[in-house]
Amino acid sequence: MKIEILGTGCPKCKKLTEQVEEAVKELGISAEIVKVTDIQDIINYGVMMTPALVIDGEVKSAGSVPSPEEIIKLLKE
């Protein structure tokens, strides 16, 4: 599983990264977590507001930080 956090390092981006790391640990799954900070790469996903969460190439959320419970649900899909 590849998880990408799209954002340039804003506080919300950092919070999303922390919550994703916690969710991966809680689920005990193997995942590569990548921070994407290049604006062009973010735009290529069609994301206009960060932070965004991309799981296996699919944008799952953008413009907000999902709750830990929502992140766990998205990772289980």
| Other CB atoms within 10 Å distance of the CB of residue 56 | 11
Has 65 been annotated as catalytic? no
Has 10 been annotated as catalytic? yes
Q: Which of 1, 10, 29, 33 is catalytic?
A: 10
Q: Which of 3, 6, 13, 36 is catalytic?
A: 13
Instruction: Tell me the CA distances in angstroms from 41 to 8, 35, 49, 68, one per residue in order.
Output: 11, 11, 13, 25
Tell me the catalytic residues. 10, 13
